[in-house]
Structure 1
């Protein structure tokens, strides 16, 4: 008899614990959890965050970086430092008055007034803001469910999963782990085609103390920050100059008004790129870019890309955020970029087919 009562007590305790767990689990709906994660909280004056960032193509890790982020919301100050596993480093700081950005890949730094640009430009969008924006978007495009409660990096989190509502969407399945006590995203995993992107917060301090050195960066020896205007590499050019640069005739359009041509030398790739800007009826219609064809052949790599045939050669048509048509012809890679939302895929193909070679 004692054994039976002991068994009943164990089962009853298990049901009680399960009921408590279900009550906690059901405290917030999936949409409420996302709403909490993206709401602007007045009690968060600032934060410091350290996180890992990894990108996989299939099973192969193609990017591995550590990101440090300081944000002072009260004084509109921020700093982001990113360092990859191969040693590449970028730093961006906004002290409320001036923005300085440095990249070891370019070996250069530039500066501009903070009030001259929109938030999010030149590396000023913080990783938390990117995650918040991603969460806002999936509320419209994905079905969201709560998977469970898990501990990540010492934080108790709600684990939610977002599945695309429609097949063929650019953004695939996504998962988020959101801290219960402060509603920060502690971890995220997003999948698109064969790419997987993963963020994991390892250190998080909310409302930390900032001193006079926090929102500064120390540039490497020999690097001096220049103004953005000083670093602008573009120069006006003519078709004849492009023919001379490439050593061959160049494609252009005679059906639209050629407003201007700009060229710029890409030191890292040792090549000159050029943009021809075309207008019609007082509106810019498209830009035709060109540079010497790289060794890498054209290939469909992402959703939203389609392989088609243009001018007798293989081309890639893209229609994700903006329409673009890319192909290689006579050793030159051309990119036809739509600047008019009313242009269709067929319009771009027609424009490309009607381009003509010129020698001057």
Structure 2
């Protein structure tokens, strides 16, 4: 198990664990009433120290995590059962990750506002409720103590099997909104995160939000780049003759973006139909260095332009993919009213761009 990758994924896991909030009264509330109450509260982050375990089962193993949070800053200190040790700190302007055992370090700066709408329990509640409100049945399933604190247990069951996130169980602190335990099942894997200690309003020194990286460890600077809009001539120069969807019957090409993939040129074409977003098409040229990873269990076979391709439909997300004459093509739906048959029909209309 590569825990450096898992640590990066931990933020996503936290963002996908239906972080609903509880109330500090003893009244009986429905899940919707809890959400409504939570979203009226302050967005100020809590100050706390906590310890929790992450259990990814036999395939992923377990980790013990110590966490410090204050004024929007956060420190994560994680050790695993096989001796790995990673420290990650967000000091409010940059994120630093230090692998103590491997003696590697990376840091990434971010601008003020880049993480707005993602950090507080209220932010997560609003985001995640919107993600699952149409795909899950949500109910309160009693009250339990986690780490010595009173929580509501909230259960979210998928209505259909083809959803991005599976069944979830979440235990929410009644007073702080903190999610103290989560059990998620998705894509055949199970993840359990449970706090064993939580100290709300702990006294935390600002030195916790610095990382002492040894002088002999080189710190790698990680930069993030937004896709750059380019002209069709730029794409032709790098890709040669490739397939494009013709602009007819209300279909119009609005933007071409350079996806800036280091190992190969890749471009994304955004299309509208009748002046509304319809779909995007990404294309890149297959090379000897390209490695095709195994598909996921959600991918299903489909024929596109006489080629064997795949499609994946999870809720409103739909994409079809295929290879043709040395190029990889992917069409991603933007308008949920379009079916996979519609996307295949547009693919079948594609012609060589010369």
Q: Shorter-chain TM-score category?
A: 0.5 to 0.7
Cα distance between partner residues in 1 of 2:309 and 2:223: 41
Cα distance between partner residues in 2 of 1:61 and 1:28: 41
Classify 1:146/1:54 alpha carbon distance in 2 versus 1 (closer, same or farther; 3 Å): same
The total of aligned residue pairs comes to 306
Question: How is 1:10-25 mapped onto 2 (pairs within 5 angstroms)?
Answer: none
Task: Tell whether 2:349 aligns with 1:354.
Answer: yes
Name the larger-Rg structure.
1
Q: What's the CA shift for 1:64? A: 4.4
TM-score under structure 1 length normalisation:
0.65
Secondary structure at the aligned position of 1:118 is classed as: coil
Secondary structure at the aligned position of 1:114 is classed as: coil
Task: Tell whether 2:281 aligns with 1:288.
Answer: yes
What is the aligned partner in structure 2 of residue 118 from structure 1? 116
Q: What's the CA shift for 1:178? A: 4.2
Cα distance between partner residues in 1 of 2:32 and 2:166: 20
Q: For the Cα contact (< 8 Å) 1:30–1:146, is it kept in 2?
A: no
What is the aligned partner in structure 1 of residue 139 from structure 2? 144
Cα distance between partner residues in 2 of 1:66 and 1:332: 44
For 2:261, which of 237, 246, 265 is the aligned residue? 265
CA RMSD, 1 decimal: 4.4
What is the aligned partner in structure 2 of residue 168 from structure 1? 161
Cα distance between partner residues in 2 of 1:137 and 1:260: 28
Secondary structure at the aligned position of 1:49 is classed as: strand
Secondary structure at the aligned position of 1:238 is classed as: helix
Q: For the Cα contact (< 8 Å) 2:52–2:66, is it kept in 1?
A: yes
Secondary structure at the aligned position of 1:294 is classed as: coil
Secondary structure at the aligned position of 1:239 is classed as: helix
What is the aligned partner in structure 1 of residue 235 from structure 2? 238
In structure 2, runs of 5+ residues without a counterpart are 1-25
Cα distance between partner residues in 2 of 1:277 and 1:261: 7
Classify 1:44/1:82 alpha carbon distance in 2 versus 1 (closer, same or farther; 3 Å): closer
Deviation track 1:212-252 (CA, whole Å, cap 9, x = no partner) reads 32333456732264664xx5686954223124xxxxx5333
Secondary structure at the aligned position of 1:61 is classed as: helix
Cα distance between partner residues in 1 of 2:348 and 2:155: 42
Higher RCO (CA-CA < 8 Å; seq separation 6+): 2
What is the aligned partner in structure 1 of residue 76 from structure 2? 81
What is the aligned partner in structure 2 of residue 222 from structure 1? 218
Classify 1:233/1:294 alpha carbon distance in 2 versus 1 (closer, same or farther; 3 Å): same
Classify 1:148/1:258 alpha carbon distance in 2 versus 1 (closer, same or farther; 3 Å): closer
What is the aligned partner in structure 1 of residue 68 from structure 2? 70
Q: What's the CA shift for 1:330? A: 4.3
In structure 1, runs of 5+ residues without a counterpart are 1-26, 244-248
Cα distance between partner residues in 2 of 1:285 and 1:165: 27
Secondary structure at the aligned position of 1:277 is classed as: strand
What is the aligned partner in structure 2 of residue 323 from structure 1? 318
What is the aligned partner in structure 1 of residue 244 from structure 2? 252
Q: What's the CA shift for 1:196? A: 1.6
Secondary structure at the aligned position of 1:351 is classed as: helix
Q: What's the CA shift for 1:199? A: 0.9
Question: How is 1:174-185 mapped onto 2 (pairs within 5 angstroms)?
Answer: 174-179=168-173, 184-185=178-179
Q: What's the CA shift for 1:340? A: 4.1
Cα distance between partner residues in 1 of 2:146 and 2:68: 21
Classify 1:89/1:320 alpha carbon distance in 2 versus 1 (closer, same or farther; 3 Å): farther
TM-score under structure 2 length normalisation:
0.66
Secondary structure at the aligned position of 2:110 is classed as: strand
Q: What's the CA shift for 1:111? A: 1.1
